[in-house]
Structure formats: structure tokens, C-alpha cells
Amino acid sequence: MLEDVPRTKTPPHLTPHRHRPSAALGLMAAALIPSFAHANPEAQTPPWLAPHESLLVDLKDDASDEDAKEISAIARVSLHLNSIHAADEQFFVGDVEPSELDATIARLRQDPRVENVEPNYVYEALGVPNDPMFDKQWSMKMVGAPAAWARADGRGVIVAVIDTGVAYENYKKFRRVEDLAGTRFVKGYDFVHDTEHANDDHGHGTHVAGTIAQTTNNGVGVAGLAYGATIMPLKVLSKRGAGTAADIADAIRYAADEGAQVINLSLGGGMRSFIMEAAVAYARKKNVVVVCAAGNNARARVEFPAAYKGAFAVSSVGPDRKLAFYSSYGKQLSIAAPGGDKQSGGESGAILQNTILPSEVGATDRYLYFQGTSMATPHVAAAAALVISQGVTSADKVEQILKDTAVDAGPADWDERYGFGILNVDRATEVASSAVGGTSNGALALALLLGVLGIRRLPSRALRGWGITATIVGAIATSCGFFFLRPLMPIDRSDGVLASLATMPLPSWDFVLLGPTYATTALWASAIPAALLIIGLLRVRALRGLVLGAAIGWAAYLFMAAVEGTQDVRLIPGSAGFLDRAWLIGNAAILVGLARLFVRASFAIREKGSLHGTEP
């Protein structure tokens, strides 16, 4: 609990907490809005051991409707699906008398049709808003955003913000805040009220979404770190900033199923939910980067869900690059990021974004300073989006790049307060750029080209008329793109697609045109596209050099993607694992073989044409 939140006389562990019509076991690890704490004392109380009246039951996926009815009868609990999205996973919630909680759980655990059962824990937003532009966003400069924007903006990446909702649409009393006017959104869901309109009635989620993708270079307000990214708003926390394990787990699975590449969880608590843990594992298995706040309890214990295996846990630092006074830390920590610290930097030492107030959900021009690990987490989620937008489709590789490029703030390498160091998106995007199409790809392409052209000492006239320059340009452009032009491009790229195509390797064009959700399929990340080029253009003399270079460049790209482990090939089992690498290397070898045949066939066509005086 943060120090600037007033204390109550009532022991917080005895305070019940309600969710929807039923009460639930409170699980808070956050201080809420100081300016509203007096008006709503319950909102600042962490009821970890409170009486609990809500149960979360996860039946096995093959359980029938009759099974659910029988289990309801056995448990003497009226169970219902948590949301319309919970049917596939058989997620049920129900009310139970507090005195019957333990006995009910014990009975249900004996039933083989029940995969898991636990209290429907409540989690809360991990941030501390206050009241009142890019020059005030010290965090962006700390992580190296201006340099990173020369390489990436997050375009095409979907980031799920699982929070209090987002002020993203004009609907009834809700309005989109002014500095999200140019931000992209996909359909979300409100798991608290079971509606498709995931509007924010608190402010926390909008602030988080702003750090990730606030509209940038629009002459209004502040900037977002991955301003080209798309936000998927998922509301799991109520107006008072609290939500249940059922809704959070439901939202995590929804995000993974609906195409999110990154999930931001700026929430948490001290109680472990195995069902939520399974949801995190599910998302991670689907190659999603799950970024979580470590907690605001100023202790050596990472809160849940950040402590789950597969989560990317984030602690918070202030403008002095020191661990914030409130930040939790511990053995599961992955990285640190700027989340604000008013004790060391005053009001402006917190994180500034455009958001709303609970009492004024229709006001669109509020710019508020919040602090908390909640504010650190979206910096890392945005960084992940920047790396992914450069073509790194493996969640493992994204996380590794972020850790490898972090700047040590404590002992060398890893430590429990800063993880692998403080986030640095400048270095991360530089490494990602090299990994998916940098000088190493180009060097390999030229080496392969020399090898192919040196087959059995082909006579120099084999390339006569093709142009060795065109061949080299084809190899370089295909394997790494004209990446060296990126620093010359303005941040505000109105021709974003064309600029990306010009500076990215040809094998990653599907990523630019289709987005990460549909990119890097086994058909495109293979020898097939280049083979079709060879077959179709073999007899077009003016293009032979470019075609040969493209085939060699494509092979180099696939080989380096396998070595670097950057690509998760869709339709290939596993997440950037052995099978993915075997596929990439195998297709790279096929392309080298095809290039050799192409050179021989082209030379044969030339010789035949020369004999008849009709050289094509």
C-alpha cells in the first residue's frame, strides 16, 4: 500500500468485498486514487482474508451441460458461465455462503469432472493517479523512445489492455479522450458487465492504454511509446478498480484467441489463482507476450499474476532510475521500467497521460500524473509491440531481446530489484532490426551468392546481360531491405506501409501487409514465393539478376531467422521451436539449390539462344 493513501481504523483483512451481486475474496496489491479515498473508504482497503461469497469452478473441457447441472446440485451452488466467451473453457461462477466455502471447495475437488475450483479472488489496478506534455514525459526519454521511433512504431501489433476499460468510443455517456483520436482499436469486451462496450469508468485503463499507444505527433497532449499499435480494450476491473480472477482469466484467454500479440496486466494481488495461472500459460503457449505489474507493496515479493510462470514481471523506477518507494520486487522479476516516484521527483516525477476521472467519464481533456508498477508495465508492453512490429514473431525472442538490451541499474546481469535492468527500447529495436534483416542477413546473402556463382567455375559470360549489380541489389533488398534509410524517415509516417515495405526484408512483407496475426505462415516463410519468381521470370533476361538475388536473399533471411530464433512459423507446431527452425533451414537449403539450377538453366538458355542467334 502506498504511503500517501490514508489508513482506516478497520483492519483491512476483515473487510468484505463485493463483485456484481455477490461478495468476493479481496485481493489488493495497490493503492487507489488518493483524491477519492475519503469518499470511498472501501476502495482503499485490501481484504485479502475477507469472507468470500463467490466461487470459480473450471470444469474439464469435455464436461456436458448435464454434468454442470449435477455439479451445481452436488455443491449446492447455482453455477453459471462467467461470460459468453467462457463456454469453451467451461468457466463457471456461483454464489456460496461464506461459512460453506471451504466445504464446498473440498466437495468439488473430489469430482473428476472438475479441473479446478477456488475462491473468485479480486484483483485491483496497480497505480496511483493524481491531478495536474512531450517535454514532461521523462519516461519516454529514459527508455530511448525518440531513437527507437526511427526504426519502429508498433504498427500492426495488437496489444490487449486488460484493465478498467479504455475511453475509446463515443457511446452513451462515454467519450473517447482527445489524445486517443488517432489510435487504432479492435473489438473488445467488458467482462464486468457482459457487454461489447469496454468503456472506462475509472481512468486507470485509459492511462495505461495511453502510455502504449497515445496518438502521437498530432499536436495534442502527449505521446505513446508504440503509437502505431492497435489496442484491444478488455474491461475486467470495476469503477472502483477491482475485478475477479474469473473475469481476468476469461479476458486473458479471449485476448489470446482474438489475435493479441501482447497482453498488458497492470493489476494484481497476493493470492494465487490456479485458473488465472492456467490462462497465462494458455496465452504464452499461443505465443503471446504477457506483461504484468510486479505490485505496489514495497516488498521482496512479486504479486500475482506477475509471479506466474510465463508472465513478464515489471518493477518500477522513478526519474532518478532508482527503484520506486512502493515497487514490489523478487525472484520472478524480469525487467524494470519507469513507473514514477513522487517521493523523488515530486508531482512531475509520475507518469503523465490523457485519461478520465471516475466522476467525469465524459471529459476528454484530462492529463493526469499516475505512479505505480501499473504505469511501468505498459512501457514494457509497448516495447514488446515495437520489437514485434519489426518482424520478431517469437514471444521467447521478444522477451530475450528486452532483457538482453536492458540497462543495468543494480548488480551486473540479473538482480531481484531491477531484473535484467531498466528497459531500453532504443537498444531493443536496434537488435530486433538486425535480427530480422540487418547487416548479418546481407553478409550471408552475398556469401551465398558468391558460392552459387562459383559453382564449377561457371564462365563469366553466365551473367552477361543480367548485371551483377542487379543481382547484388536483389540479394540485399530481399534479405535485409534498405534498413539504413529508417533513421531518415519522419516519426509521423503518413505513408507508413510503403516506408515499411522499403526498409524491411521482402520475406517480412506479409508482416507489414497482413499484420502479425496472419504473418509468417509456413507457405510464405518457405521456398515457395521465391521458387514461383524463378519459374515465372526465368526467360526474362532483364530480370534474371534481380530474381537470382531475390532467391539468394530469401534463403539468407530464412537461415538467419532460424539461427536467431526470431520467427514463430504459423501452421508449424510449437512456438519458434525445433520444428520451426528445421522448416526455415530446410527451405533455405532448397532455395540455394534452386538458385544453382537457375544459374545453370539461364546459362543453358543463353548458350542455346546464341547458337540459333535468338538469345532471349
Range 569-577, long-range pairs (CB < 8 A, 24+ positions)? 569/520, 569/521, 569/522, 569/525, 570/518, 570/519, 570/520, 570/521, 570/522, 571/521, 571/522, 571/523, 572/522, 575/285, 575/287, 575/394, 575/395, 575/396, 576/287, 576/393, 576/394, 576/395, 576/396, 576/397
Is the pLDDT at 505 greater than 60? The verdict is yes
Question: What's the rounded mean pLDDT across residues 354-358?
Answer: 96
At 485, the pLDDT band (50, 70, 90 cuts) reads low
The alpha carbon of residue 137 and the mean position of all alpha carbons in its chain are separated, in whole angstroms, by 22
Confidence (pLDDT) at 519: 77
Phi and psi based region of residue 484 (left: phi greater than 0; alpha: psi -120 to 50; beta: remaining): alpha
Confidence (pLDDT) at 33: 29
Surface-to-core class of residue 589, CB atoms within 10 Å of its CB (0-12 exposed, 13-18 middle, 19+ buried): middle
Confidence (pLDDT) at 211: 98
Confidence (pLDDT) at 501: 75
Confidence (pLDDT) at 377: 98
290-308 tens-digit pLDDT: 999 999 999 999 999 999 9
Q: Where does the chain hold its CATH 3.40.50.200 domain(s)?
A: 125-431
Q: Where does the chain hold its CATH 3.30.70.80 domain(s)?
A: 12-122
Please check whether residue 53 is in contact with residue 47, taking contact to mean a CB–CB distance below 8 angstroms: no
Helix (H) or strand (E) holding 45: none
Least confident among 62-66, 307-311, 395-399, 563-567: 563-567
Q: Which residues contact 587 (CB under 8 A, 6 or more apart)?
A: 525, 526, 527, 555, 558
C-alpha cell at 531: 521458387
Question: What's the rounded mean pLDDT across residues 478-506?
Answer: 67
Confidence (pLDDT) at 41: 28
C-alpha cell at 413: 546481469
Confidence (pLDDT) at 497: 67
Mean pLDDT of the chain: 82
Q: In what order do the strands lie in the sheet with 128-129?
A: 128-129, 366-371, 351-355
Question: What's the rounded mean pLDDT across residues 307-321?
Answer: 98
Is the pLDDT at 538 greater than 90? The verdict is no
Is the pLDDT at 116 greater than 60? The verdict is yes
> In this predicted model, which residue has the larger pLDDT, 278 or 534?
278
Is the pLDDT at 13 greater than 60? The verdict is no
218-243 tens-digit pLDDT: 889 999 999 999 999 999 999 999 99
248-263 tens-digit pLDDT: 999 999 999 999 999 9
Question: What's the rounded mean pLDDT across residues 468-481?
Answer: 81
Confidence (pLDDT) at 303: 96
Confidence (pLDDT) at 466: 54
Terminal Cα distance for the chain, rounded = 78
144-179 tens-digit pLDDT: 999 999 888 998 899 999 999 999 999 999 999 999
Please check whether residue 44 is in contact with residue 94, taking contact to mean a CB–CB distance below 8 angstroms: no
If DSSP codes are grouped into helix, strand and coil, which group holds residue 311? strand
132-144 tens-digit pLDDT: 389 999 999 999 9
Is the pLDDT at 616 greater than 60? The verdict is no
Confidence (pLDDT) at 548: 84
Angle between helices 65-75 and 101-109 in degrees, nearest 10 = 140
Cell 499536436 locates to 219
Q: Which residues contact 419 (CB under 8 A, 6 or more apart)?
A: 313, 314, 315, 333, 334, 335, 336, 403, 406
Question: What's the rounded mean pLDDT across residues 39-55?
Answer: 42
C-alpha cell at 40: 470511498
- From 3.40.50.720, 3.40.50.200, 3.40.50.1100, 3.10.450.750, which CATH number describes the 125-431 domain? 3.40.50.200
Rounded Cα gap, residues 80 and 229, in angstroms: 35
Residue type, 596: R
Question: What's the rounded mean pLDDT across residues 73-85?
Answer: 88
Query: What pTM did the predictor assign?
Result: 0.81
Least confident among 24-28, 99-103, 493-497, 588-592: 24-28
Confidence (pLDDT) at 481: 79
The alpha carbon of residue 50 and the mean position of all alpha carbons in its chain are separated, in whole angstroms, by 34
Residue type, 409: A
Q: Which residues contact 7 (CB under 8 A, 6 or more apart)?
A: none
C-alpha cell at 130: 493524481
Confidence (pLDDT) at 349: 96
DSSP-assigned beta bridge partners for residue 323: 317
CATH topology of domain 12-122: Alpha-Beta Plaits (3.30.70)
Cell 472502483 locates to 240
**Alpha helix locations (H) across 495-543?**
496-503, 509-514, 528-537
Q: In what order do the strands lie in the sheet with 122-125?
A: 242-244, 122-125, 267-268
> In this predicted model, which residue has the larger pLDDT, 53 or 88?
88
Q: Which residues are catalytic?
A: 163, 204, 374
Rounded Cα gap, residues 599 and 616, in angstroms: 14
Confidence (pLDDT) at 31: 31
Least confident among 116-130, 470-484, 561-575: 116-130
Q: Given 3-state DSSP classes, what are the helix, strand and coil percentages for the chain, each rounded to the nearest 5?
A: 40, 15, 40
Confidence (pLDDT) at 282: 97
Confidence (pLDDT) at 606: 61
